[in-house]
Amino acid sequence: MYFFEKSILLLFAFHCFSLNESVESQTLEVVSDDELLELCRSENYVVALFTLKDCDKCRKYEDTLTQIREELVDSLNAWVVKVEGSNLVHIYNPNKEPALVMFRHGIPLLVPESDAVNDELLANMLLNNRDPIVKELDDNTFEHLTQASTGATTGDWFIKFYSSDSIECQRLQARWETVGAKLKNRVNVARINRHIGGAITARRFSVNQSPTFVLLRRGVMYVYTLPDFTIESFLKFVEKDYQFTVKLQVPQPKSMFDDFVHMCFDVLRENPLAWKLSLTVLVVILLCLVAFTRTPKSSEHKSKKKIN
């Protein structure tokens, strides 16, 4: 009898333990903003759900993510966590919560809602984009990789000109990675810093603001001019809306002299005080020259009068 009771107790304890494990496996670990940043610095793959309490859509996101969590852990050794009421969410998604972001070596990819609520689509999205897709260009690699001036034999390119000091550009990174993931194997998606490393290329394409988006397609250039910086708008532009924008010829690389002149104009345009100061200095120099050339003549005239 004693042995039977002990067995029942052991079975009950095992059942409680299994039930507890099952409940824990169906919930995501909650982390703070600081803990998330530390994970992104130390781990190769982190999948983070930015969520709110008492949010129906957030629960749909979490239920879907929970279904594939074990697959992500097994395939990527990924951390799968959630952050409630985060102050970081606006960096990755302008619409805020819910937002599902995958960090690959610290580089974020924003999962679209259509993928985030479907377990099969979500698994494909995350597992097939385990590496960053957006290519980084600079003045040395731009022409070699894009072949822009020779007819774009390397395929179509959708390029974002950005700058490090632009907050809008920083917030676009996760969405731009998603654009690259959605267009993978169809269009090359890239970015180039128009100040650091890509200034010559930016002047070649007359890019004066950040961000600027340019589509190079079959030797022709199309500029994205819409104010809507959503993933859907970018994809729609590349797939069909480019046809309704102005078709431009791809500019040839500038000579060293032309580029220097363009650079001077850019500096004067972006710094209004610079050209005003330069003009003032030039006027002062001219006045000094005029005064200097007049002085010898007047003194010579006086000396002649004395002789007479």
CATH, residue 208:
3.40.30.10
* 252 pLDDT tier (thresholds 50, 70, 90): confident
CB-based burial, 68-92: b 16+ in 10 Å, e otherwise:
bbeebeeebebbbbbbeebeebebb
DSSP string covering 138-204? -TTTHHHHH-GGGT-TT--EEEEEE-TT-HHHHHHHHHHHHHHHHTTTTSEEEEEETTTT-HHHHHH
Domain enclosing residue 234, as ranges: 135-253
Task: Specify whether 246 is located in the same domain as 151.
Answer: yes
Task: Specify whether 216 is located in the same domain as 281.
Answer: no
Residue 256 has pLDDT above 60, yes or no: no
Residue 269 has pLDDT above 50, yes or no: yes
Task: Specify whether 237 is located in the same domain as 262.
Answer: no
Give the number of C-alpha atoms closer than 13 A to the C-alpha of residue 303, restricted to the C-beta side: 6
Distance of CA 134 to the CA centre of its chain: 9
199 lies in a domain? yes
Give tens-digit pLDDT for 197-230.
Answer: 999 999 999 999 999 999 999 889 999 999 999 9
* 285 pLDDT tier (thresholds 50, 70, 90): confident
Domain count, the chain: 3
Residue 302 has pLDDT above 50, yes or no: no
17 lies in a domain? no
Task: Specify whether 239 is located in the same domain as 171.
Answer: yes
Instruction: Tell me what pLDDT residue 281 has.
Output: 66
Instruction: Tell me what pLDDT residue 296 has.
Output: 54
16 lies in a domain? no
Task: Specify whether 236 is located in the same domain as 174.
Answer: yes
- Last residue within a domain, chosen from 127, 159, 194: 127
Residue 253 has pLDDT above 90, yes or no: no
**Mean pLDDT value of segment 72-87:** 96
Instruction: Tell me what pLDDT residue 19 has.
Output: 34
Give tens-digit pLDDT for 63-77.
Answer: 999 999 999 999 999
307 lies in a domain? no
Q: Kindly list the distances between the CA atom of residue 278 and the CA atoms of 59, 116, 260, 272, 285, in Å, as whole numbers in the listed order.
A: 61, 56, 17, 10, 11
Task: Specify whether 91 is located in the same domain as 170.
Answer: no
Angle between helices 231-239 and 167-182 (to 10 degrees): 50
Task: Specify whether 30 is located in the same domain as 121.
Answer: yes
* 257 pLDDT tier (thresholds 50, 70, 90): very low
**Mean pLDDT value of segment 3-10:** 46
* 179 pLDDT tier (thresholds 50, 70, 90): very high
> Of 294 and 236, which is predicted with more confidence?
236
- Last residue within a domain, chosen from 81, 103, 127: 127
184 lies in a domain? yes
Task: Specify whether 246 is located in the same domain as 262.
Answer: no
Task: Specify whether 212 is located in the same domain as 280.
Answer: no
193 lies in a domain? yes
6 lies in a domain? no
Task: Specify whether 116 is located in the same domain as 36.
Answer: yes
Residue 17 has pLDDT above 50, yes or no: no
- Last residue within a domain, chosen from 99, 127, 155: 127
Instruction: Tell me what pLDDT residue 268 has.
Output: 52
Share of the chain above pLDDT 70, in %: 76
* 150 pLDDT tier (thresholds 50, 70, 90): confident
85 lies in a domain? yes
Task: Specify whether 181 is located in the same domain as 226.
Answer: yes
